[in-house]
Amino acid sequence: MANKQSTQAIIGDPQWDGLWINDPMHQKFLKNDVRAQLGFFRPMLRSDGGFDVPDFDGAPLPDGPQEIHTTARMVHSFALAKQFGFDGCDDVIDAGMAYLWNQQRDPVHGGYFSSVNRDGTAASDVKLAYGHVFVLLAASTAKDAGHSDADRLLADVTEVLQTRYWEEAHGRFADEFRADWTTFSAYRGLNANMHAVEAHLAAYEATDDTAYLERAGRILSFFFDELAPAYNWRLPEHFDENWKVDADYEGDPMFRPAGSTPGHSMELGRMLLQYWDLKGRSDASMPTKARRVIETAYTDAARPDGGLVYTLRDGKVSVPDRYWWPVTEAIGAFAALQKVDPQPKDEERYRALWAFADSYLIDHEKGGWFPELDDAGQAVSKQFLGKPDIYHAIQAGLFPPVPALSRVSAKAG
């Protein structure tokens, strides 16, 4: 598979004998990519305060429902960028915060609709924990950025998560209910709980309320203390209502694909390191557990021709397609490991991941990242339409150069 456009000489100094996360040339590349992403996604703000999804060229895709995670991720991404010193973020943050509260919040039953139509009606009668934890993430990052409405949103969504989704006996979140909170599903999953960890760590950083940290810790303990050692450091993702592994489950191929998603394991491994740092680094076993899960996922998923496969079954490739977001999460995971106990293979993988992203995933002409590739390394639209997301890639550009594992936005610069 031939290189599409650029070389490592552009993304970092190949002669740099230290870590690329400390290389001024690489840091300049990261900052430029973040700036390009912000410029690509900023025009997706509509006159009604919602957000369009861009096609490959940056034109809005045809009208469709507004997904709650789209709104929340735009708020989170631009609020992060503001804290890192990028200009022109306030209009997106303001609009997204207003849209979450005025359009996507359910004034009758409480909580937040998973998607809404342009006329403000609910496009789905399902309320997802996945969407609610992204609202918590958006509120937390907006609070860090000084937004005046952040406290209101944070308090509201926290109350919903605690009273509707949190299962105290298990120490984890249920996944879904009807709009009126009627139970219809016994499904429990890693994906929503992983992003719950992310959001609760962010909420703790924004508020210093230890309840957020305690809930994140209970979720992490289940996956890293109970499941990972029992499953050869590969994390199952699908469960029944009693949190028994459901190895035969197959749901939405985008959010709940059959088998396991190695990108999630690397993402959650980075979060374990963030939690360990926030807890004062008292448990010496946590970095070891994070490394084992991250390295196992990477080894299972890495394709010989570059990039990472989407899903696995028992450590064997199931869906070999290559998406952008597992690459960004692997970048974040290996950058985090290097801040704790750097190993030569961490740097080799970090550089290789960025070289692959630069050559095949980053659209240097139009902006943004291509979401998926065919076997020839060409951008395709099978699972995703357009360039649906800034959130994964912008964090891959912002987080690695900051020496800290936690409270990174406060320690940037």
User: Between 285-301 and 324-340, two packed helices, what is the crossing angle to 10 degrees?
Assistant: 150
Look up residue 14 and give its amino acid.
P
Kind of pairing between the strands at 372-373 and 316-323: antiparallel
* 238 among known catalytic residues: no
Choose among 226, 231, 201: nearest CA to 214: 201
DSSP secondary structure of 79-136: HHHHHTT-SS-HHHHHHHHHHHHHTSB-TTT-SB-SEE-TTS-BS-SEEEHHHHHHHH
Residue 238: strand pairing partners: 189
CB atoms near residue 108 (< 10 Å): 7
| C-alpha span between 30 and 390 (Å, rounded) | 14
Cβ contact 274:256 at 8 Å: no
Residue tagged 């403000």 (tokens): 120
* 200 among known catalytic residues: no
339: tokens are: 């801040």
Give whole-number Cα distances, 342 to 269, 338, 402, in Å. 15, 4, 15
- Sort 107 into a burial class: Cβ within 10 Å, 0-12 / 13-18 / 19+: exposed
How many CA atoms, within 13 angstroms, populate the side-chain half-sphere of residue 6?
A: 18
| C-alpha span between 365 and 353 (Å, rounded) | 20
| C-alpha span between 187 and 242 (Å, rounded) | 9
One of 26, 147, 195, 392 is an active-site residue; which one? Answer: 392
One of 26, 200, 238, 264 is an active-site residue; which one? Answer: 264
Give whole-number Cα distances, 402 to 79, 172, 405, in Å. 17, 30, 8
Cite the active site residues: 264, 392
